[in-house]
Structure 1
């Protein structure tokens, strides 16, 4: 991740997040992503759009493969984890997430 400040119109910022999306039935998919976004983007709306677009693309591209694991056309659960990194390294964040217990 880039440590430099970014500017957007009348503000200077550095907002970095670690995003973990949860697949339906908690199937293993891939690790979370580090991302940064300008302050005018609402994280929850961004995440919902990201889930919608990736679900459509993945179900279109890998329909036969996903049919074995998902009986409904749903890839993601409504849950997600969004952590502000505060300058922490990806390894520190990964260790923190791995220590968390799975919800019931």
Structure 2
């Protein structure tokens, strides 16, 4: 059943009333595992400041050594491509400047992010479901050596989770049964 929203949950500007939330995944160049915990903290600060400049709000941020996930709200006037390219450019410059020694181990050119990214609208799915993606990702990290899932498969599974509005526990138990069944065959 779809959640009904109250008017207080929406943002307002001069004419529109809106509530668009977006989920962004940005990958390090060549998927190098170069993002440390300290860099994650700094990237979160950078993301907050850049999103504030565009009148957006950061809801959640997490990631792994080779990519980050951002869940944010943006007004309808914001061009997502410009926002994302601005974030990638500014954060890359800050990270390459502030963590020059760490980054130099992986990259000899001043690049940090891959040219590609993935962004999608949460499509009215409850934010609790979207925030549970972080919990699923943490469980995935713990079980990756068993199942050896590829990142693209995980993202597809997360989209399925949001579409069918199931709980992460039910979804993961289904995935484990399905994977074990395929391994035994």
Q: TM-score, structure 1 length as denominator?
A: 0.82
Query: Where do 5+ consecutive residues of structure 2 fail to align?
Result: 36-62, 138-150, 157-185
Q: Which moved more, 1:83-92 or 1:33-42?
A: 83-92
- In the alignment, what sits opposite 1:64? 101
Query: Where do 5+ consecutive residues of structure 1 fail to align?
Result: none
Matched, 1:99 2:136: no
Which protein is richer in strand relative to its size?
1
Q: Which moved more, 1:20-29 or 1:38-47?
A: 20-29
Q: TM-score, structure 2 length as denominator?
A: 0.48
Which protein is richer in helix relative to its size?
2
Q: In the TM superposition, what is the alpha-carbon distance from 1:99 to its structure 2 partner?
A: 2.2
Aligned partners of 2:133, 2:100: CA distance in 1, in Å?
35
Q: Would you say how many aligned residue pairs link Structure 1 and Structure 2?
A: 99
Aligned partners of 1:38, 1:55: CA distance in 2, in Å?
24
Aligned partners of 1:69, 1:62: CA distance in 2, in Å?
12
Aligned partners of 2:73, 2:121: CA distance in 1, in Å?
10
Q: In the TM superposition, what is the alpha-carbon distance from 1:27 to its structure 2 partner?
A: 2.2
Aligned ranges 1:2-81 → 2 under 5 Å: 4-28=9-33, 29=35, 30=63, 31-81=68-118
Could you say what the CA RMSD is over the residues aligned between the two structures, in angstroms? Answer: 2.4
Using CA pairs below 8 Å that are at least 6 residues apart, which structure has the higher relative contact order? 1
Q: Secondary structure at the match of 1:39?
A: coil
- Structure 1 segments, 4+ long, off by >3 Å, are 92-98
